[in-house]
Each structure stands twice: as C-alpha cells, then as structure tokens.
Structure 1
Amino acid sequence: MQIITTFGFFVLWLASRWWLALVDKYVPEPYLDEVFHIPQAQKYCAGHFRDWDDKITTPPGLYLLSVAYHRFRLLSECTPFSLRSNNLLATILTAFLAAQCRHLIETRAAGRNGETSSVAMPFGSYYTGLNIALFPLIFFFSALYYTDVMSTLVVLVAYRNHLLRLQARRLGIVNDLWTVVLGVCALFMRQTNVFWVVVYMGGLEAVHVLRSVHSGSQKDSTLHDPPLSQSGPQDWFLCVLTLAVAALSNPFRVVRQIWPHLTILALFAGFVAWNGGVVLGDKSNHIATIHLAQMLYIWPLFAFFSAPLLIPSVLSAATRPIQYLHTLFSLTSKRAAFISVSYTLVTVLLSLVVVRYNTIIHPFTLADNRHYMFYVFRYTILRSHALRLSLVAAYTVCRWLVWDQLAGAAGPAQNPPRPVKEAAAATAAAAPRTSTALLWLLTTALSLTTAPLVEPRYFILPWVFYRLLVPAWRATDAPAPPGIGRAWPRGGLAGRLWLVAGSVDVRLPLETAWFVAINVGTMYVFLFRGFYWRGEHGELLDGGRVQRFMW
C-alpha cells in the first residue's frame, strides 16, 4: 500500500507539473485575475510592501507566501511561471493534508464507536486526499496564480490542528496560541475563511467539550446528537436545542475551549472596522448581500462533481422501492413519514419563495462570457421564469442525494457472508454526528449567502469539508437484488474479489476517473478553444488578446 500511495502522489505531481508546463507554453502572460495578482506579487518580491492595487479584494497572504517561497529557493525574479509554481507545491500538500484530516476523522469516529483504529494511515484516506486534490475547481487553478489552492491548503492546516485538539486530553496555552496563529494565517488568504476557522471549527470544539462534560453522567441523555444516518428534521431541532441549553449551563467550559476562535473573530471584527468593510479593494462591486439562492445552487453543483459518490443512493432507490413504500405507510413510522413529507413540502415552498424573490444576477455574471457560469445562467435561470421555478425540483432531488451521502447512504447488506461483514465493519467510517452536519451546513450558508456573485470557486471549501465527512462505502454495503439475498459469493475467485470490495471504497477509482475526465475537458477548452472579442463592426477588442473559457 505504501508503494501504491507513493506512486499516486508521484502521478499527481507529474499531472500538476504537466498542466503547469502547458499553461506556461500556451498562456505565458498573466490571464484574467492574474493581471492583478502577478504584478502585486512582483511588487512584494521587489520589497515594495506598501504598494497595493485597489482592484484586489483579498488580503496579501498569497503574495507573502510567494516571497518566502522565492527566497527559500533563492530565485532572483518573480516570473509568472515561478509564481504559478507556488500552487503546484500547494496542490501536493493539499492532497497530503486532506489525507491526514480524513484519517483523523475516521480514527475519531472509530474511537467513538468503541472500535480500534490503526495508527498507520489507511489506503482509503490517502486515496481520498488524492481525489480532493484532483477536484476540478482545485486542480484547474493549480497552474494559475489564484488564491484558491493556497487558501484551501492553509485552512486544511488549521483543520488538522483542530482535529488534533479534539483528540488531546489537555490543551495548553501553546496550542491555543498556535490555533490563533493558524486562524489569522487563514484570514490572510481570504476573508470568508473566518467562517470555517471560527464557526465550523470553533463550533465543533464547543460541541466536543459539552459532550465530554456530559459523558459518563446521567446528564448524557440531555444531549441529543445522534449520527446523521439516524436523524431526521425533528432530531436536528432537538440537537440545536439541547446543545444550546448545555452551553448556557456550562459557559466557562465552552469559553475555555474556544477562546482562540473567539480571539480570531475579535481580530477579524477589528480588521473590518479599520478597513471600513470586508473586502480590501473594489468595494463597490463586492458589497455583502443576503443571497439565499446560493444555498439552492450548491446542491446541483455538488451532485455533478460527486456523481460517483451517489451510486449507493441510486442503488438503494432502485432495489428497495417496495421497502421504502412499506416504511412510509407502516404503523410504526407514520409519525416519521409525516414529518419527512412535511419537511420536504416546506423546503420546496421555501425554495420557490427564494427563487421568486431572492434570485440575484450579479453584473459580472452577465458581462463575462469567458466563465462557464455565464452559460449556465443563460440557458437555465435566464431562459424563462417558468424554467427558473421548475429548477426547484432539481435542487430538491440533488439536495436529497448529497445529504444522503453525508449520512452514509447505503442500507445494510442482506445476509452477507461473515468475513465480508467483518471486513466492512473494520474499515468503514461512521456517519458524522448531527451537530457536525448542521455546523457544516451553517458555515456553508454563511460563506455563500453573503456573496452576491455566483462563483464556482466559492464552493471549494464547502465541498472539501463535505468530501472529508462523507463515510466510506463498500459494494457489500449495498442491498442485494431481489431474489438473491442468500446468493452472495463465498468461495473461489468471486469470493476473494468480493472480500476486496468489502474493504475498499469502490467509488474512489470512479471518482478519480470522473475528475480526470472533467479536468482534461476543461484544460483542453482553456488551452485550445480560445476566441476573440469583437465589436459591432467586427473589430478586435481587448487589444486583440485571446479569450479563454474557465471556471
């Protein structure tokens, strides 16, 4: 396994290096937002730290890291190629950090369920980290000088530290201060990272300390925080209510745990007051707005990129329709069915209201036909009002599919052989707790609904944390087709192959193939399907420069 994982990281490095070389060959000059980022980084490389381009909205973290990178490598000049190569290194480190975070999540889940977990990182964690680095919205920008890849890396460093804090029996002042430093570093990359290092990680630590206070006592029953796979809308409400009551009953314990995150929040609030707003420059085009429709767009985007992960839900729906109907109308589950149906109707109604009254079309979306989102809006949301409303059905289905995966979608296998059952139980990751999923949803909403512009890059961190939480799935977890519940392979080659399927998430190679296909397609279009902007009389615009399609 070590040889395979080492080879996987080597292939990732080769692919990233090849992509960087192609961009440098065919797009050597700064392109699009690089027109602002590269000159600003070159000013910093020259020591002009007081010079700032007012068109840049994000903090200078990327440029400061670039200066450190160039000085460490003793590079005398900051060229577009050398600056872009920063993200090549960041992509490899992102894969490794994501693998470590995945392993820590699975280790903690195994300990919570009373299972033992090996200290060595399993193959599935490495593979998940590699796929996260191949995520098209990350891999594409690994060859361009944008903030997204480096920002993701820094947030993952902070997240790894957070997961280690959850495992520590005692936290010292050194680790608390280190948490503050990592949080500030994340804010130096992008302002919206405050939601992930404060709300998400701070919220998880608050829940952790409340659970530890109540564990082993009669008060344990007052915390309602079941695994997401065993919770419904009523459980989500009870989870929030009981955690709020527990926090009010133990304020000093909570503050002792999360004071580093509160410090980060205070520093960020001080920055906003000093700066007169969240963004640094171009404030007129980046005004914080309540944009609830973002929480509708996220589900089709996640469903598209996570298509291979949806296999369990599709299999369950295809092989167990009778069981679903029986559960819906059984005497023991009428109340749950009523709550579920009511919840679905309410969400559909709220979605229709949001589409009707809170669909925001930012001028940038309509003004720049170099981005894929321009065409998505043009052929869907802007097509007609009726089509815009009908998309609520797609939002609802995609939301169910994505949430189902987060809950660990696969139903139990019917009469699997004992070795398969043991292999799956030894390696499967438990579904996240209800509180974890709700904090992820809240943080995602805060980071997206404050942005008027629908930009795929804004969905990177929500997807990364979602992907880290999705439980592993095996083919043996799937329900057996009707009539062959006892016909599982037990011996010979078929049995051995089935045992392998019982210990590996078979969706991982499909996810790799899917991401590679998307990446190859978008890379080809970007490099070789350029076009020119022309005026009304056919004259070339933008100085005759080639325009290229990108995310």
Structure 2
Amino acid sequence: MTLFIQINSPSFWLINSLAAYSVISKLIFDHIYLTSKMVVDEEFHIPLGKAYCNFNFSVWDPKVTTLPGLYLASSLLLGPFGLCQPYYLRFVSLLASFINLPLFYILFSKYCPESKWSNICSSFTLALLPPLYFCSHLYYTDVVSLTMVLLTFVMYEMDCHFCASIFGSLAVVCRQTNIIWVVFVAGQFLLKAMYATFAPKQTKTSGGINMSFQEIVDLLKELMKNPIKHAINTYLRFWKGITSYLAVGVAFLTFLAINGSIVVGDKSAHEATIHLPQLFYFSIFCLVFLWPYFVSQSLDFLNFIKTHKLVILLFLILGLLIVHYNTLVHPYMLADNRHYVFYIWNRFYGKYAYFKYFMVPVYIFSLYIVIKTIYSSGDASYLMMYILCVFIVLVTQKLIEVRYYFIPYILLRLKTGNRIPLAKFCLILEFLTSLFVNIATLKLFFTKTIMWSDYADPQRLIW
C-alpha cells in the first residue's frame, strides 16, 4: 500500500518526468552536436567559453554584448575537470535546462498549490517551449541566465530576500537586462511589506498578500501622509530584504557609470530605442504557444468589445498609429537568413504593405488576454510590476528576437491555466503544440542547410 501511494504521488511523477526529459534531451543534444558543432552566435561564445574554462579571464570579444556569466559558470563547472571542449560547453546549457524544470514546478506550486498534477504537466510543457528548448542544446547565454532568474523568483517566493538578491546579482552577470527582474521582485516586496504595516488581517493568506489596485492606491496615499510612521512600523526583516535588493541596484548603477552603457562590447548594434510594436510581437508569441488558453477566453473578449466599444476603437486607432510611425527594422534581422524571424518578416510584414495594419486587431486581442490573465490572479502588485518591467525590457529593444520574450512569457504562463474552464484540455493542446513545433524545427535544423560564402560549413536554421 505504501509503495502504491509513493508510485502515485506527484513527487514520483515529477522525478520520472525529469528523467524522461533528461534522457530524450540528451539524445537530441548529441544529434545536434553531430550535425553542427558551431551554430550562429556560438562562434563568439565558444572561444570565450574555452578561454574562461581554462581560467584565462583576460580574453574578450568585442562582438559579445553581455557580461561573462555563462563563461564563469563554465569555468566553475568544467574547468576543474579539464572539460573545455565545445561538447561540454554546450552541455552547461542542457544541465541548466534540467534544473529549470523543477524550478518551474516550485513556482507553479506556489501559485496553484491545489493542482499538483497539472503543475507537473505545466512544468514539463513550459520546459518544452520550442525556442527555449532549442537554446538548451546550444552554448548561448539564455538558459543559464533563465536559471538564475528562476532561482531569484523562487527565493523571493520563499521569503528569502537576501538569497534572492544573490541570485539576482548572478542573473545580471549572465545578462545585464536581468536587472529588470530584480526590480520586479523588489517592487512587489516593497509594496507588500509596506502594506503589511496597516493591512487588515483578512488580506493576509497562507500565500502572502494579494493587493487590489484600490489597496495600492490607499497604500500610496498613506505613505505620503505618514512616511516616517510606516518606516518605524516596518520590521527588521524588511530592512534586510530591501537593503539586499538596493545593493544589487547600486552595484548595477556603478557598472553603468563605469561602462557608459548597459551594453558591453559592440554598443552600436544594441542602441537603446523606443520600439512600441515589440509589445505587439510579444503578444503574438504568447498567442502562438498559448493558443488553447487564448481561444478559450475569446468569448470573454467579444463580450468586452460589446460593452466597451469606444475603448476598443481608441485602442485600435492607437495601435494603427503605433504600427505606422514606430515600426522599426533592425539591419541584423534583414541580413541573417538563419533565423525564423527573417522569413516571417520578409514573407509577410515586408512583402505586403498592409499586413502590419491587418495584425492590429490580433495584437489587441492578444494583449487583452495577457493582461486579463494576470489581473484575474488577484494580485495587482504583480500586474503592475509585470507591465512596468515587460515594457522596459521589450520597448527599448530594436531587434526582434524571440529570446527576449522568454521571461515575460514564463511569468504569464505561471498565472495561466488551472483556474479557467477546460484547463486540462487546454494543457493537453499546449503540450501537443510544443511537441509538434519542436519536432518540426528540429527536422528543419537537421535537413535544411544554408550556404554562406564566408563560411566553409553549411549553416542551419534556428530560432
């Protein structure tokens, strides 16, 4: 009887899901390595990874624009064993993806503790998100960077803010823009901790404090009236936590002052700009990979249109104006035919002059579902910080790059699914979608070659 309970426990199936994911991914990993030992930007990352793995920290390539967190992790994990070959460098990303799966489960369990089986399936499906899954087999910064960000979120949810700040610092060392996700957790912590100084007891649940917009407004009014009083009423643990986050912020500002920019290396390729359609492209990314959930909410959107016709009309006009005046095209996107975005842009947006305008209603629908999903979770502080941080991360980027969408998508997915009608059916369709897209993209990678005159080896098509 005890054995039967153990076999049918969520923990047992989580371990088995991780084992199956690891074995299958390792087989795919080996096949990718045999097919191509240098994929696109790996020509910049692998030489630096080798140097750092051999404890040579004086080498740098100016074309690399991120901090050396990935290479430092490689030196720590592989350097002592002399495993500095490209195969093992790539395996660092795959190892990080193995760690990410249980981290997803911890976060899903935090937000939906009553849905253990769905949380396992959701974690497995999220780990299979096609662009993220493919990056797990390459020596790119994305997966290790994500691991550090997820650890930051987990530590925040466990109310261990000093540890969250440590992992937040490591996340920034992997990718500078991760400072925004430190701000994301710090902002929520600050709002909720200050609200706890005068919140009624019924607002406090076993999962912490969920704040409405009205409660946030009341908090801000109260802080403006009696800032000293509430500062005195805060507890020592609050000051330890906020000081930890502030230390990360100060260190980052010091880096900006010394470096002169958020970008290291070639700054000309990643100049900050205002590119509002990035929010639209992100909404399409969410629609593509979460289409079952979005479709399930379509009737709600139609009801919203019926009752808010003027609002929808205003957003439609605003969307058309943004698309017309603020659609930017990065030269990298038009020059590199090894990425799917190149083909999407040239065969739709670039080919048909009015395609970008026809997409505006789809953008409005997608953004509505994104915001409604997070708003429905009942925590306005999460929604407020999400909108702020996603706006800053995406709108300042000129280049359309699906890897920028990983963390915003994951934060949305953590709030999606288990509370809506037909949640299990949507989860099955989501899993099948990720599975199908992964199979299709892997098949294209293995079979389609692209010849570049300045490369002896054939190039491959990736995200």
For the criterion TM > 0.5, the same-fold answer is: yes
1:194 maps to 179
Structure 1 residues 341-352: aligned runs within 5 Å: 341-352=309-320
1:14 maps to 23
Residue pair 1:224, 1:239 contacting (<8 A) in 2 also: no
2:134 maps to 140
1:381 to 349, 359, 363: 349
1:499 maps to none
- The CA distance in 2 between the partners of 1:219 and 1:195, in whole Å, is 28
Shift in Å, 1:180: 2.8
- The CA distance in 1 between the partners of 2:210 and 2:165, in whole Å, is 30
Cα 1:3/1:178, change in 2 over 3 Å: closer
| Letter matched to residue 255 of structure 2 | F
Cα 1:247/1:517, change in 2 over 3 Å: farther
Residue pair 1:309, 1:405 contacting (<8 A) in 2 also: no
2:221 maps to 245
Residue pair 2:275, 2:396 contacting (<8 A) in 1 also: yes
Shift in Å, 1:126: 2.1
Q: 1:424-478, CA deviations, whole angstroms, 9 ceiling, x for partnerless residues?
A: xxxxxxx24123122112111111111111100000010011111224146xx46
1:444 maps to 390
Cα 1:8/1:269, change in 2 over 3 Å: same
Residue pair 1:372, 1:549 contacting (<8 A) in 2 also: yes
Cα 1:217/1:240, change in 2 over 3 Å: closer
1:155 maps to 149
Shift in Å, 1:56: 0.6
Shift in Å, 1:384: 3.8
User: Residue 465 in 1 paired to residue 408 in 2?
Assistant: no
Q: Kindly, what percent of the aligned residue pairs are identical?
A: 27
Q: How many residues were matched structurally?
A: 442
Shift in Å, 1:367: 0.7
Structure 2 runs not aligned, ≥5 long:
1-8
2:123 maps to 129
User: Residue 89 in 1 paired to residue 57 in 2?
Assistant: no
Shift in Å, 1:246: 4.0
Q: 1:324-353, CA deviations, whole angstroms, 9 ceiling, x for partnerless residues?
A: 49x95xxxxxxxx3xx33332332222122
- The CA distance in 2 between the partners of 1:38 and 1:511, in whole Å, is 34
- The CA distance in 2 between the partners of 1:358 and 1:526, in whole Å, is 33
2:49 maps to 41
2:189 maps to 205
- The CA distance in 1 between the partners of 2:216 and 2:393, in whole Å, is 20
2:5 maps to none
Shift in Å, 1:375: 1.4
- Rg bigger for which structure? 1
Residue pair 1:87, 1:149 contacting (<8 A) in 2 also: yes
User: Residue 550 in 1 paired to residue 462 in 2?
Assistant: yes
2:445 maps to 526
Structure 1 residues 372-451: aligned runs within 5 Å: 372-407=340-375, 431-451=377-397
| Letter matched to residue 450 of structure 1 | T
Instruction: Give the SS at the match of 1:214.
Output: coil
Shift in Å, 1:217: 7.5
Cα 1:510/1:391, change in 2 over 3 Å: closer
- The CA distance in 2 between the partners of 1:473 and 1:217, in whole Å, is 25
1:420 maps to none
User: Residue 63 in 1 paired to residue 71 in 2?
Assistant: yes
Q: 1:95-154, CA deviations, whole angstroms, 9 ceiling, x for partnerless residues?
A: 1111101112234xxxxxxxxx6xxx8222222221111111211011100010111111
Residue pair 1:59, 1:190 contacting (<8 A) in 2 also: yes
**TM-score normalised to structure 1 length:** 0.75
1:496 maps to none
Cα 1:224/1:145, change in 2 over 3 Å: closer
| Letter matched to residue 448 of structure 1 | L
1:233 maps to none
Residue pair 2:44, 2:64 contacting (<8 A) in 1 also: yes
- The CA distance in 2 between the partners of 1:125 and 1:392, in whole Å, is 33
- The CA distance in 1 between the partners of 2:32 and 2:210, in whole Å, is 52
1:24 maps to 33
- The CA distance in 2 between the partners of 1:56 and 1:518, in whole Å, is 29
User: Residue 272 in 1 paired to residue 266 in 2?
Assistant: no
Shift in Å, 1:27: 0.7
**TM-score normalised to structure 2 length:** 0.88
User: Residue 313 in 1 paired to residue 297 in 2?
Assistant: yes
Cα RMSD of the aligned pairs, angstroms, is: 2.7
1:75 maps to 81
